[in-house]
């Protein structure tokens, strides 16, 4: 009598645990990737319109996180009930977004606008200088030591299975980041301001000749990018629960990498690049160790750019000379 064989091998308990662990890391990577993508949109918007790599964007987000921490203490959100907490978080997103957007426009007016006709290296170096100024403001604001951000949301698992964890923090990232990304895509594709942005990105002189206020469009671009950064600063503080005056450098570096990976200047590319970076970081930290994470992320970036220099969703264009 022949022994019957199951059509599929029955996994051992250790195999089941490893599969669950893999999916948990993917879930963490997707959440982190969405947050990275939100920051990357600030880089890709400014670059797409005026061709400037705003290296101060990461430190702008750091200042937004400092303001969020101060507002949490001023509003007493640590002691608020669930309904008041969610209303407070919405208020934080709006206020920090307005703060970062306004500050971004002010920097454009004072620093970047006078250098519009200067060689490309001049505004780039100026952006690095603004980054250091922001970093020192953050140092005076919260001090040199990392500060703990209050745990405003419960850590309860929202999934029916205990093998995968999806908490209120993860849900917060989704309900804030996804609508902002969709709203930005709609604004750029279907509104007058979005059409003006695309016209300015193509040719500023031609856009001015057809009646577009180029300076106003650029200011709007900086404001929207700063507003998204301010929203990201609140989500970062609530999700990571630790902020510091140097947090802008690493987060800005990963976000800029995501923008380049997806195709800098492309909004869908920034989103895709952020998701890829988030997944690679989570999986490499889990399976290769935290010390190898940065090397693996940038090795993948180099390999992709070798074969596709314009990024995953970028378009190959000719440089104007």
pLDDT in tens, 220-257: 999 999 999 999 999 999 999 999 999 998 888 899 99
* Assigned CATH class of 28-153+166-307: mainly alpha
131: nearest Cα among 61, 236, 206: 61
Which residue bears the tokens 């002189």?
Answer: 205
228: nearest Cα among 196, 259, 202: 259
pLDDT higher than threshold 50 for residue 310: yes
**Residue 229 near residue 57, CB atoms below 8 Å:** yes
| Domain extent listing, the chain | 28-153+166-307
* Residues shown for the chain: 321
**Residue 57 near residue 69, CB atoms below 8 Å:** no
137: nearest Cα among 106, 93, 91, 95: 106
199: nearest Cα among 178, 218, 186: 218
pLDDT in tens, 148-202: 999 888 888 888 877 788 889 999 998 888 888 889 889 988 899 999 999 999 8
């Amino acid at each position: 009598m022949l022994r019957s064989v199951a059509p599929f091998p029955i996994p051992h308990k250790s195999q089941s645990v490893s599969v669950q662990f893999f999916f948990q890391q993917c879930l963490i990577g997707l959440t982190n990737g969405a947050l990275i993508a939100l920051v990357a949109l600030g880089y890709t918007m400014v670059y797409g319109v005026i061709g400037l790599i705003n290296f101060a964007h990461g430190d702008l987000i750091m200042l937004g996180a400092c303001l969020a921490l101060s507002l949490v203490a001023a509003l007493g959100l640590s002691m608020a009930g669930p309904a008041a907490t969610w209303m407070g978080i919405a208020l934080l997103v709006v206020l920090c977004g307005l703060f970062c957007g306004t500050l971004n426009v002010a920097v454009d007016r004072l620093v970047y606008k006078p250098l519009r006709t200067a060689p490309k290296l001049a505004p780039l170096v100026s952006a690095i200088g603004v980054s250091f100024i922001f970093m020192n403001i953050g140092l005076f604001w919260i001090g040199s030591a990392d500060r703990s951000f209050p745990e405003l949301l419960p850590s309860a698992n929202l999934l029916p299975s205990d093998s995968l964890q999806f908490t209120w923090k993860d849900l917060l990232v989704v309900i804030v980041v996804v609508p902002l990304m969709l709203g930005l895509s709609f604004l750029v594709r279907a509104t007058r301001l979005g059409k003006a942005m695309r016209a300015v990105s193509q040719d500023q002189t031609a856009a001015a000749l057809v009646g577009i206020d180029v300076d106003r469009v650029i200011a709007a671009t900086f404001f929207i990018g700063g507003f998204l950064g301010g929203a990201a600063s609140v989500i970062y503080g609530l999700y990571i629960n630790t902020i510091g005056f140097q947090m802008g450098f690493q987060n800005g570096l990963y976000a800029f990498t995501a923008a380049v990976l997806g195709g800098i200047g492309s909004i869908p590319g920034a989103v895709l690049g952020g998701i890829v970076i988030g997944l690679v970081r989570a999986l490499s930290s889990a399976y290769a160790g935290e010390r190898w994470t940065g090397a693996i992320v940038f090795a993948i970036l180099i390999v992709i750019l070798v074969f596709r220099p314009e990024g995953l969703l970028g378009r190959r264009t000719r440089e104007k000379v």
